[in-house]
Amino acid sequence: MPLQAQQNQEETRLQALQKVLDSGTLQQVARMLNALRPAEIAHLLEALPLAEREIVWGLVEEEDEGEVLVQLTDEVRASLVSKMDKEQLLAAAEGMDTDDLADLLQELPLTITWELLNSLDKQRRERLEGVLYYPEDTAGGLMNTDTVTVRAEVTLDVVMRYLRRLREKIPPQTDSLIVVNRDDKYLGVLYLTDLLTHEPTDTVAEVMSLDVKPIPADWPARKVANRFEQHDLVSAPVVDEDGRLLGRITVDDVVDVIREEGEHHFMGQAGLSEDADMFAPIVVSARRRALWLGVNLVTAFLASWVIGLFEQTIEKVVALAVLMPIVASMGGIAGSQTLTLAIRGLALGQLSSKNARRLMVKELAVSLLNSLIWALVVGVVAGAWFNSTDIALLIAAALTINLLFAAFTGAALPLLLDRLGIDPALAGGVLLTTVTDVVGFLAFLGLATLFLL
């Protein structure tokens, strides 16, 4: 289904649900709701204001609650979990996949977490503890411990009989079986297509593939997503530092990582979290946004202070006040282009200290070319506007300086912030704007003071 058609369908569902909610016929709402998939229910819940969200959440069937919870953003999930009693939470956790259950456990009160762990059988508890041992944003935190493993020495006929015996216990999205030795060390994978197309008397060792490299459990989620993208994987084994199989990651987990990364960079440009609830309480939303508004205010005062240093110059040459925003705005746009490119390179693992210098040289060259073109255009317009060759040359020079400095800052800032452990997507835009404003005003007004007075 095309993306636009899918979006229209989701909007229609939301509008239909809203209409039925307004009419007060909750039974019809329940029927409409429980005909949807868990991910679709989660999408609708996130689109509802708080009061209506709680009503609709109460209509979700008990056996679907766990699957719906793991599809929600962290903030929305936390708000719903906080209003659920112990019995509801234990029921929601029943039957969930290990990796999804691990995500849910991090939102639960400690007392319920312990009770839930104690209610699990020994094997499942050990699997869950194995996932919880690793941070959420690593391969170990993403993996599911439910795997189907086979030995290299058995025949394909034995494997087929084994799979028929498993039946419903075969995990979803199983495109291959994982081959291990007696110590559970990873050896390779047996694709189901090879299992079905080779002779039953062939052994697993003769047919299995050695091309799929295992993913270390401590790999960051971003690196895992890159591996899936580059190798077109549906699933991949996860191993510990000794090469022992721990579990597997499937493509649906990676899709979640990619989506969260995209939302993180998009929302980060406004100083917001990707998990922000659109209908969070007013006070909560205001408090979160106040921090970045405060930071921006400080940087704005800094730019204003620079302008204040040249107050006498501006009073004598009024044209400078008219043209100042052009220099700052052009620098901000040029710097944002380079900043976005550098942040993307960091996210994909394509930018590091080894090739940063080449990127910087390239961006400076691009900026120089653009600055020469647009400095000429702005200079001609400004000169004709104020009938002054001096102002034309002045703004052309200031524009060139600011665009070059913006390119340098846009390339260097993400690397510096990343090295300091600060998220470039969150802090880069504010800092870049400050630099381009200050440098732009300083260059333009400083040159005017030197050459026009």
Distance of CA 47 to the CA centre of its chain: 20
Whether residue 273 is contained in a domain is answered as no
Q: In what order do the strands lie in the sheet with 176-180?
A: 149-151, 176-180, 186-191
Of 100, 119, 142, the domain-final residue: 142
Three-class HEC string of 159-182: HHHHHHHHHHHCCCCCCEEEEECC
* Domain count along the chain: 3
> Among candidates 303, 298, 338, which has minimal Cα distance to 424?
338
> Among candidates 28, 13, 76, 85, which has minimal Cα distance to 50?
76
Alpha helices by DSSP H, listed for 311-388, are 311-316, 319-347, 356-386
* Pair (325, 392) in one structural domain: yes
Q: In what order do the strands lie in the sheet with 245-250?
A: 215-216, 235-239, 245-250
* Pair (264, 318) in one structural domain: no
* Pair (169, 316) in one structural domain: no
- pLDDT at position 270 is 56
* Pair (297, 446) in one structural domain: yes
Give 10-residue mean pLDDT values along the chain (453 residues). 51 68 74 81 83 84 83 82 79 74 74 76 76 84 88 94 86 90 93 93 93 92 88 91 92 82 62 64 73 77 86 82 89 89 80 84 92 92 90 92 92 88 80 89 90 75
The residue to which tokens 């299995």 are assigned: 208
Residue pair 271/289 in contact by the 8 Å Cβ criterion: yes
Residue 47 to residue 40: CA distance in whole angstroms: 11
Residue 341 to residue 410: CA distance in whole angstroms: 9
* Pair (406, 295) in one structural domain: yes
Residue 409 to residue 340: CA distance in whole angstroms: 12
* Pair (219, 124) in one structural domain: no
Residue 285 to residue 278: CA distance in whole angstroms: 9
Of 224, 242, 268, the domain-final residue: 268
Domain with 59 in it: 3-142
Backbone angles phi, psi at 183, to 5 degrees: -95, 15
CATH of the domain at 71: 1.25.60.10
Please count the CA atoms within 13 angstroms of the CA of 312 that sit on its side-chain side.
5
- pLDDT at position 6 is 52
Residue 218 to residue 133: CA distance in whole angstroms: 11
* Pair (135, 43) in one structural domain: yes
* Pair (403, 293) in one structural domain: yes
- pLDDT at position 269 is 59
* Pair (289, 264) in one structural domain: no
Of 268, 302, 320, the domain-final residue: 268
